[in-house]
Amino acid sequence: MLSGRRLDLLDPSPLDIEIEDIAHGLARVARWNGQTRGPHIYSVAQHSLLVEAIAAHIVTAKTAAVAQWQLGVLLHDAAEYVIGDMISPFKTVMGGTYREVEARLMAAIHLRFGLPATLRADVRDLAKRADRQAAFLEATRLAGFDRTEALKFFGRPVALPQSVLSYLEPWSADQAKARFLARFQRVSAAPGPSRDDGTVATSD
């Protein structure tokens, strides 16, 4: 890693994980295998910010009561700073070996930043739901999918404000890194779950 850390893929240690390495790597890993519109790649760092912003609008009251759910969602793809963002069909071909390496990395990342090695089921479910919403938006606005095709793969999206949709304009790698780090610092320092307006978001 640029920090000088050496990470053992088979037995990753939380002590060898730095948020600067994660932000730097994710800002340079392309979503959709790079097959997106715009002057810049759509990075995993920017995707992670989009997913966390969407989650703030669909989180249930029960999950909102879980300390650091925002950090867990923000870091949902953090392992990709090491292993990259493989497209879903290829992950299926790779099978269990890929998933095992990913799970070990995610456990180490969680522990490094004060989260449980395995997140609570409702936090994982929130991250997955928000991730699918983000995938629908990215697919239709950036990756050339038509709406019918995207609905088939990702389901129907929820209504979102322009402040969230603005995350779909691809940023430079430097901007994505800086914004990811800034958001990480904010949510990791927060005493409890909240939105930027100071209120807890709930959904039906």
Asked whether residue 42 is domain-assigned, the answer is: yes
Out of 26-40, 54-68, 106-120, least confident range: 54-68
Asked whether residue 200 is domain-assigned, the answer is: no
The whole domain housing 128 covers 14-188
Out of 7-11, 42-46, 113-117, least confident range: 7-11
Q: Are 13 and 108 in contact (CB under 8 A)?
A: yes
Asked whether residue 157 is domain-assigned, the answer is: yes
For 134-179, the DSSP string reads: HHHHHHHHTS---HHHHHHHH-PPPP--HHHHGGGSPPPHHHHHHH
Asked whether residue 6 is domain-assigned, the answer is: no
Residue 30: give its domain's CATH number.
1.10.3210.10
Asked whether residue 41 is domain-assigned, the answer is: yes
Is pLDDT of 198 > 50?
Answer: no
Number of domains observed in the structure of the chain: 1
What would the mean pLDDT of 91-98 be, rounded to a whole number?
73
191 confidence band (pLDDT: 50, 70, 90):
low
pLDDT in tens, 56-91: 999 988 888 888 999 999 999 999 999 988 777 777
Is pLDDT of 101 > 80?
Answer: yes
Asked whether residue 202 is domain-assigned, the answer is: no
What is the pTM assigned to this prediction?
0.89
Provide CB contacts within 8 A for 183, sequence distance 6+. 49, 52, 74
Asked whether residue 32 is domain-assigned, the answer is: yes
Asked whether residue 4 is domain-assigned, the answer is: no
Cβ neighbourhood burial of 14 (10 Å; 0-12, 13-18, 19+): middle
